[in-house]
Amino acid sequence: MNKSEGIFKGGWLQVNIYAPTYALPYVCTGHVYCLPGRRLLDQLNDVFPGTASEAKEFLSVTGGEMYALRGEKKTVEFACLNKANILFVRESEDGQARGFGGNPGHMRYPYVKKSPVAVKLYLPFYVLTGHMHCAEGQRVSDVVNLPLRFFPITDVEINPSVGISESGVSFIAVNKSQIILLEEVKLEKTDEGQ
């Protein structure tokens, strides 16, 4: 199971949050508290199946460091980031283990078969290439027009306007209101993927 699909047991989840600050791209690394049984996407979208939505405009981060892509660094004990200004969020690859806890056969989310669609997203300071996931009968435009603020993309390549590109990122949550342009693309297969 993909770690982004798992149900978190509750506690602090280590994340990287990409956001523009003072007209510069910044990355905030730190910890976000996830309630038991919630995924990172649930926490960002303020939803959990079977409960009423409680929209919170700010995401609280503890033990964080802010990095400018030009090299400046600032340590913060606690910060509140405006969700509307977050470009995308990624779980730290070396963060806490995710899992179901209790009964691994019991899922709180109904299984919906989805097909990956290769996309390229243009955001301020970044171009992301990866896969959106559409349910049967859905198009990419349907996914971005859902009422949730954040949606997942997988197998992501992150290309910043300044700094070093990253590839092979398994999961990120993208703020759809920060997308300037989204296009469907055909990804070239490597020798490994053939």
pLDDT digits 0-9 by tens, 22-45: 666 788 899 998 877 778 888 898
For residue 151, pLDDT beyond 90? yes
Contact by Cβ (8 Å): 117, 35? no
Structural domain count of the chain: 2
Rounded Cα distance, 173 and 148, in Å: 11
**What pLDDT does residue 52 have?**
60
Residue 83 and residue 140 in one domain: no
Residue 148 and residue 70 in one domain: no
Residue 55 and residue 132 in one domain: no
pLDDT digits 0-9 by tens, 115-145: 899 999 999 999 999 999 998 888 999 999 9
- For residue 129, the enclosing domain spans 114-184
Is 9 inside any structural domain?
Answer: yes
Is 36 inside any structural domain?
Answer: yes
pLDDT digits 0-9 by tens, 73-125: 889 899 888 999 999 999 885 433 333 223 333 345 556 788 899 999 999 99
Tokens linked to 184: 């469907």
The 3-state DSSP composition of the chain as helix, strand, coil percent (nearest 5) reads: 10, 45, 40
Q: Look up the pTM and report it.
A: 0.78
Residue 81 and residue 155 in one domain: no
